[in-house]
Amino acid sequence: MLKGFRQFLMRGNVIDLAVAVVVGAAFGAVVTALVKDLITPLIAAIGGKPDFSAIVFTVNGSKFLIGDFINAVISFVMIGAAIYFFVVAPMNALVARMNRGAAPPDPTTKKCTECLSEIPIAAKRCAFCTSPVV
């Protein structure tokens, strides 16, 4: 029983997942600090006060913290923008630059001349309309 557990733990998937979780948590802290310490003060310098937590309304003694919700939404949008502009866009540009000279992969499907559905290259008859394919 312990041998099977050890094999499970030593499998590449588990170790890769553990590393991804640790790196993801650390990266999340970096992105949160970027937004909180750099982008939010920049917005405050341009537009005024960056904290909306004082916006509250009360109904029958229940407090609705609209300002906290607005803060969370703004933080979410800024974190998403930071990740897109500082991680996703540069990585897409890097991958595109690396694949610039690569040949496109060979096609695996073709269109049926009768019904225009996608069929495998090696097919001799369309699976959808059963017409012979040249």
Where are the chain's structural domains? 2-102, 106-134
Both structure tokens of 1: 């029983």
Q: Which residue has the higher pLDDT, 133 or 7?
A: 133
Give the burial string for 11-33 (b: 16+ CB within 10 Å, else e).
eeeeeeeeeeeeeeeeeeeebee
Task: Please count the residues of the chain.
Answer: 134
Domain 2-102 falls under CATH 1.10.1200.120: yes
What are residue 12's phi and psi, to 5 degrees? -60, -35
The tens digit of pLDDT for each residue in 81-124 reads 888 898 889 999 998 998 888 888 888 999 998 899 999 999 99
Global pTM value: 0.53
